[in-house]
A and B are shown apart, each in its own frame.
Chain A
Amino acid sequence: MKFSTRPGHEAQQRKGWLAAYRWLLLRRFTQLTVIVLFLLGPFAGIWIVKGNLASSELFGVIPLSEPLITLQLLASGFIPLQAMVIGTLLVIIFYALVGGRVYCSWFCPVNVITDSASWLRERLKITTSVKLHRSVRFWVLTMVILLPIFTGTMAYESVNPVAMIHRAIIYGLGMTLSVAVALFLYDLLLQRKGWCGHLCPMGALYSIIGRFSPLRVRADKRQACNDCMECFVVCPEPQVIKPALKGAGKGVGPVILDSACTNCGRCIDICAEDVFNFGLRWRNQGDQPD
């Protein structure tokens, strides 16, 4: 393992700056575009999408709804309207195809906050960490869905920091932005990838939705891996890489099948040997001859 240079240095040297940050830049562009599209309405009168990521209307006709909201609505004993059912199904179908946690890494604005926190955390060499298993988010998800049954209201939406941050940005709610600061500090000081990687029930639900998604990251050229470990350093869910990258001996891989993978593409960018690429989940029987 190299400690002399920062992760990505070699990829930059070998592939050039743009190629070494291609997917990251695309993701940041997508995240920004989502916010801009929501803000074009109120600021420029161009209504492409209206509402926020909880529920929205695309081009004034296509409903989109957050599945976790719909689940909470059902749990509190209400039947969603037809448009909401359609909106939820559209969202589920989209993420079932491209990968559930594509929501997390490509669309959710919180990703920018937590990515910045973990970037700074690494820069400042902060290593303090609370011990929480990555499965805790599924417990949180269970709790979120059970709460409306006991309280009769969407209780989690009173505290849901992700929804709050979306709303704060799109509706200009100043105090609500303090939640973003809280998440930033949690990820900076208390746990690496703490919120998105361990706690967020929305991410947990999306990982279930994308459990069988066709679009996956593949380590097709894993024999070229030189064990620099940089992909593990930048990956928001490093546990997903090992079976695909190192499973050749056991006849496992080369597709990253773990549903926690966010399809963010950082491993593709960072790898100087171009081991990783986007592809489909099939052809996954050990090593494939090129």
Chain B
Amino acid sequence: MQNNSPNANDQEQSDNDVSRRRFLTDMAKSACGMTLLGMGIGLYSAQNSALPALALRPPGALAERDFLATCSRCGLCVRDCPYDILRLADIGEEVAVGTPYFIARQGGCEMCPDIPCIPVCPTNALDHNLTEINDARMGLAVVIDQESCIAFLGLRCEVCFNICPIRGKAITIEKSSNLRSGKHALFIPVVHSDSCTGCGKCEEGCVTDIASIKILPAPLAQGQLGAHYRLGWREKEAAGRSLVAPDVEHQYNLPEGQHYEHGGEGLVIDNAPNATPFASNPLDTLNSDFGQRP
């Protein structure tokens, strides 16, 4: 009996050791397994978090990384989109699985003034602070192919200009001369990033077989001027005077009674009501007998 007692204790002690060792080994195994699995899932989700350029997030979406941190993939925005533009990504699509997006060419955002997709978002992945749809920035329209855009070929089109929900601001038509024909004008669509919301209506409406104007993620579409650049004409306007050497006063040797407005009217004949042979109304010019015969 006296010998047994310490032996029993030893036995108990070694049992405890074994079970403790097994417990620790099991813990270590589980922790290692989960770390590996976690790394796998983490890497996969990181790979999967690159949004393809043509997939656009709903208005108010946070930057992609924050969006994927907050979007619960519940689809409430999809349900509340009155035009059924939004859809959730299925497996096999390049967009992170289950997250909402739309493809501009298939249907752009209709830019509802009350933005119904935003307040329903439970997680603020669509920023509830966005209440003015014109402040949304889903992407940026880019007239991406000047070879296929028919405006550059000299045709009147202007569909993107006319379909734009912020007509006249986000896209303007700039006239320039058609050097090929030598006598026609080109009516070129120009996108302005300070107004364009990236809704995609222009891309949806573009008449070419493949859209010549596309919505791209703003960082992909935009360059950035070096921070050290100063635009002289703006500096001058702000300061009210030239910041460098004073502007040269142009001198023109002209006959008396005439002067020249540089960057303005051009040649001006003083005190001559009909100084130019061309009346402001072209018909008047044609009907007059040119040259004011006495």
Contacts and interface: CB of A to CB of B under 8 A. Distances in A.
A142 B38 CA distance: 10
A156 B41 contact: yes
Interface stretch (A92-100, A159-167, A217-225): A159-167
Interface stretch (B120-128, B202-210, B217-225, B265-273): B120-128
A207 interface: no
A151 B122 contact: no
B75 A164 contact: no
| Interface size range of chain A in the complex | 35 or more
A84 B91 contact: no
A136 B42 contact: no
Contacts of B148: none
A29 B273 CA distance: 92
Interface in B87-107: 87-88, 90-92, 96-98
Contacts of B70: 73, 76, 78, 154
Interface stretch (B2-10, B28-36, B137-145, B185-193): B28-36
B41 A175 contact: no
Contact of A159 (B44, B49, B79): B44
B88 A173 contact: yes
Contact of A175 (B68, B76, B92): B92
A168 B98 CA distance: 9
Interface string A128-167: 0000010110011011001110111111111100011001
Interface in A39-81: 41-42, 50-52, 54-57, 63, 65-66, 69, 73, 76-78, 80-81
Interface of A: 41-42, 50-52, 54-57, 63, 65-66, 69, 73, 76-78, 80-81, 83-84, 87, 133, 135-136, 139-140, 142-143, 146-148, 150-159, 163-164, 167-168, 170-171, 173-176, 178-179
Interface of B: 26, 30-31, 33-35, 37-38, 41-42, 44-46, 48-49, 65-66, 68-76, 78-80, 87-88, 90-92, 96-98, 120, 122-124, 128
Given A63-B122, A143-B37, 20 more contacts: A54-B72, A55-B74, A56-B74, A57-B76, A65-B72, A65-B122, A73-B72, A73-B123, A78-B123, A81-B123, A83-B122, A139-B33, A146-B38, A147-B38, A153-B46, A153-B68, A156-B45, A163-B98, A167-B73, A167-B88
